[in-house]
Amino acid sequence: MHDVDLKITSISDWPAVEQRLRKHFSVMPEFNKDVARLCKSISQLISKASQADVLYRQTRQRKYLDQIENYINQSNTYIARFEKIWLFAQLSR
C-alpha cells in the first residue's frame, strides 16, 4: 500500500485517490463500511473545498485559498490515520 500515493494535492486528485483507497482496502472486507464512511467524509470535505474554489475565483480573496488548503489537509489527515489503522490490522493477522 505504501507504494501507491494516497495523498490529495488538489481537488481534482480526489476521484483517483478514492478509487485507489477502495481498491487497496478491498482485500480486507471488514473495512468496507469504514472505507465507505471515510470516502463519504472526504467527499464532503472536497465538496466544501470546491465551493471555496468557486468563491475564490469570484472574489480573489485569500481566505478561500486558505480554506481549500485546510480541507485538503484534513482529508490527507483522515487518509493517513486510516492507513495506520489498516497497517495495524495487517500486522495483527
Asked if 25 contacts 86 with a C-beta cutoff of 8 angstroms, the reply is yes
Residue 41 belongs to some domain of the structure: yes
CB atoms inside a 10 Å sphere around CB 6: 18
CB-based burial of residue 8 (10 Å sphere; 0-12 exposed, 13-18 middle, 19+ buried)? buried
Residue 53 belongs to some domain of the structure: yes
Single pTM value for the model: 0.87
Task: Residue 61: give the domain boundaries.
Answer: 14-92
- The predicted-structure confidence for 7-31, as pLDDT tens digits, reads as follows 999 999 999 999 988 887 777 788 7
pLDDT above 70: residue 3: no
* Rounded CA separation 67/45 (Å): 10
Q: What percent of the chain has pLDDT over 70?
A: 96
User: Kind and range of the H or E element at 44?
Assistant: helix 32-59
Give the chain's domain count: 1
Phi/psi region, residue 63 (left: phi>0; alpha: psi -120 to 50; beta: rest), is alpha
Asked if 6 contacts 79 with a C-beta cutoff of 8 angstroms, the reply is yes
Residue 66 belongs to some domain of the structure: yes
**pLDDT value at residue 2:** 47
Confidence of residue 58 (pLDDT cuts 50, 70, 90): very high
**pLDDT value at residue 89:** 78
Confidence of residue 87 (pLDDT cuts 50, 70, 90): confident
